[in-house]
Structure 1
Amino acid sequence: MYTALYDARAVGDLVPAARVRTSFLQHAPLRSRAFRLYAPLYPRAFESFDLSAYDVIVSSTTSWAKGVRFRPDAVHVCYINTVSRFVFDAARYVGGFGAGMLARPLVARLAAWDVRAAQRPTRFVANSRNVAERVRRWYGRDADVLPCPVDVDRFTAGAGNGDYVVVVSRLLPYKRIDLAIAACALVGIPLHVLGTGPDERRLKRLAAGTRTTFHGLVDDAARNAIVGDARAAILPGEEDFGLVPLEAAAAGRPTIALRAGGALETIVEHETGAFFDVPEPASLAEALRRFDPAAYDPQCLRAHAERFAPPRFLARLRAIVDETAARG
């Protein structure tokens, strides 16, 4: 397994260190805290891997891994989780980068590399129809669609006895946690936020005086307990796939999401969740007022999540890889 950076503490036993080959960035100072500053070097890091010994390469990427180089007679199946945000959403990406106007020339260069690199894989497999459409629009490539797997065994169906709603997310500007904070304040519903990220300080300032609790990173047991006892999970921003609604469903809880992006593929309206139509606090607040958690059956929610269990994903991915390798 090849990756730019490897943190054994974060990965645990999932990928043993002996199987991992890292790039020169593994030795960079402050790599775990300032990884965004190394963005200009990620293309070089992935292009530097020597994959000449391999007939078949399978990558999973949001940005960089699709750019690996390989033998002309080898094949590369790229599982793509999103089109790089600095390609289709440069303005918000620059804002999240933290350097404003100074970052624009850098982001433009990275976007140009990204589009070139997207021509290299033999075959793309997208995690949603939403992402497949972006691959077609921005890269001019077709993509199969294979939804992300959900490890349903990490969750048990909860009863939803709490009086709060929950957001599970990296704290980044485009995730729109600020919208959830404002909407819950309008309705007077407590909001629990699980996750950390660069936007945490700003969000805590916005949440001052509201009934918002920031839990930071939590282990699986705490996450399962908090999500399983919530009235609902909230997905306030547009997501490429929308994994949170499936994880919430595995814990027996519905999701209230923006009617956009991948959530349209992972939520069945009135069965596993509800939508709000406009990315504004008033629209989400109205959905929260209308929402009735008693209308959702935890066992039906769990059954919905099990449709995305890992064995189904792995069987389909293996079939795609075998078919691509046979074609050569």
Structure 2
Amino acid sequence: MTLVTGPGHDDTGHDHPAGPASGLLAGRSVALVHEWFGSTGGSEKVFLSIGDIIAHAERFVLWKDGDAHEDSPMRESWLARTPLKASKALALPFMPMAWRTLSRKDYDVVISSSHAFAHTVKLGSSERTRYLSYVHSPARYVWSPHFDGRGANPALGLPRKALQAADLRLSRHVHSYAANSREVQARIRRYWKRDAHVVNPPVDVGFYADAPAADRQQSRDYLLGVGRWIPYKNFDLMIEIAAAAGLPLVIAGKGPQEAALRGLAAKAGVPVRFEVRPSDERLRRLYWGARALLFPTHEDFGIIPVEAQACGTPVVGIDAGGLKETVVHGETGFLVDSLDPRQFVPAVRGAAELDRARVQAGAAAFSPAAFAANLSRWVTDATG
């Protein structure tokens, strides 16, 4: 079976709508499961997109935070009724048990959206159930804590080996894996010794590309950083890069590092503006006004860089992770093999010379239509 990587096209070379996906698994009982469901980040968007494609599927999550997506009914596990939902790290050892005691109902197909233990889910007792798992990453806390400092939680130190063993033992029944990037595909092969198809996540490139005229006519005179303000995203490095390049910086998002970042910004020597929780429309305008998106982060895939490119905004990031898949070095951005802020300065200057139309065209391969077509091929091949 070949890797699923490219978008679907009609005779004109444009993305075709996801027509074939509308009847995907019609006539079969389907369960979709996801880890915890909070703010709508990348993995949650994928889960919702799969739900749109397989609209008749029943949906399960470990728990929902607040009233997240009341318009999309989701059944919660027993963990939702415990204090453990307040601490993902403390809840991790109990997740495999939750996924094995979720429902006694038999399904024809179970599809998990997994970045922790969702791929270990087993529902009912039927031997005919086909288990498929779309993997955002093998649990970083468990398998690759060096990618994310949050994985260094002392509560995980002793049980990590046991959790790795449980992860392998309880996922032997999975019939087929899909990875959100070649980076994650390689991790699945390295940690789980399993093959996986690549199905890149959907990005609403049409929304970001089709900006109002006023957004398109901005001067592109600042650098931009977007995302959650947490340590591994390296917003402190973005401030240093902007200072080394002598350019203003806009930081958009939210997170626990806000106070620390504002303190660094006050000493940066260049203007740094914070945009807290911008709307999608505001974020689109910020993308269009930026000279380049700074993304010095090792991500599994990285939806934000694709959004920026859909606006014709080049990406300047590190030569690692999902950026190697979404950024064409020297054409749609620049990838730097360093965390020294001075090494990013030539890339920032070079970004201003790139062809914006070429940058924008590169984002089309990650459209929702491409995702629907690729997901449908994977599911159809895996379920027969």
TM-score range, shorter chain: 0.7 to 0.9
Matched ranges for 1:126-165 at <5 A? 126-155=179-208, 156-157=210-211, 158-159=216-217, 161-165=219-223
The alpha-carbon deviation at position 35 of structure 1 amounts to: 4.3
- State the 1:37 CA deviation: 4.2
The 3-state SS of whatever aligns with 1:218 is: coil
Distance change >3 Å, CA 224–CA 150, structure 1 → 2: same
Identical residues among aligned pairs (%): 32
Instruction: Please give the residue correspondences for 1:307-326 in structure 2 after superposition, counting only pairs within 5 Å.
Output: 307-326=365-384
Matched, 1:244 2:304: yes
Q: Provide the C-alpha distance between the structure 2 equivalents of 1:281 and 1:114, rounded to a whole number of angstroms.
A: 38
Q: Report the Cα offset of residue 92 of structure 1.
A: 5.5
- Decide whether the 8 Å contact of 2:84 with 2:91 is kept in 1: no
Q: Secondary structure at the match of 1:291?
A: helix
Change (3 A) 1:292 1:254: closer
Q: 2:354 aligns with which of 295, 303, 308?
A: 295
Amino acid at match of 2:144: D
Q: Does 1:166 align with 2:224?
A: yes
Decide whether the 8 Å contact of 2:334 with 2:351 is kept in 1: no
Of stretches 190-199 and 231-240 in structure 1, the one that deviates more from structure 2 is: 190-199
Change (3 A) 1:309 1:213: same
TM-score, normalised relative to structure 1: 0.87
Identify which of 61, 64, 67 aligns with 1:6. Answer: 64
Q: Which has the higher contact order (CA 8 A, sep 6+)?
A: 2
- 1:120-151 CA deviation, whole Å, 9 max, x = no partner? 32111111111111110111000111111111
| CA distance 1:28–1:196, shift in 2 (3 Å) | farther
How far 1:254 moved relative to its partner? 1.1
Match of 2:322 among 262, 277, 296: 262
Identify unmatched segments of 5+ residues in structure 2: 1-58
Determine the C-alpha separation between the residues in 2 that align with 1:247 and 1:12: 26
In the alignment, structure 1 residue 22 sits paired with structure 2 residue 76: yes
Task: Quickly say closer, same or farther: Cα 1:130–1:92, change in 2 above 3 A.
Answer: closer
- Give CA-to-partner distance per residue, 1:244-278, whole Å, 9 cap, x none: 22111112211111111111110112221112111
1:305 deviation in Å? 1.5
Matches within 5 A, 1:1-328: 1-7=59-65, 9-11=67-69, 13=71, 16-17=72-73, 20-29=74-83, 31=85, 34-50=87-103, 52-70=105-123, 71-91=126-146, 93=148, 95-96=149-150, 99=153, 101-155=154-208, 156-157=210-211, 158-159=216-217, 161-210=219-268, 211-288=271-348, 290-297=349-356, 299-326=357-384
The CA distance in 2 between the partners of 1:285 and 1:117, in whole Å, is 47
The structure-2 alpha-carbon separation of the partners of 1:248 and 1:127, relative to structure 1 and needing over 3 Å to count, comes to: same
**Contact 1:227–1:253 at 8 Å: present in 2 too?**
yes
**Cα distance, 1:30 vs structure 2:** 8.7
CA contact (8 A) 2:100 2:121 kept: yes
Gaps of 5+ in 1: none
**C-alpha contact 1:254 1:301 (8 A) present in aligned 2:** yes
Over the aligned positions, Cα root-mean-square deviation in angstroms equals 2.4
**Deviation of 1:295 (Å):** 2.4
In 2: Cα distance, 1:53 partner to 1:279 partner: 50
In structure 2, the residue corresponding to 1:275 is in which secondary structure?
strand
CA contact (8 A) 1:160 1:231 kept: no
Q: Please report how far the alpha carbon of residue 292 of structure 1 lies from its aligned counterpart in structure 2 after TM superposition.
A: 3.8
One-letter amino acid of the structure 2 residue matched with residue 185 of structure 1: A
1: CA distance between counterparts of 2:350 and 2:155?
Answer: 44
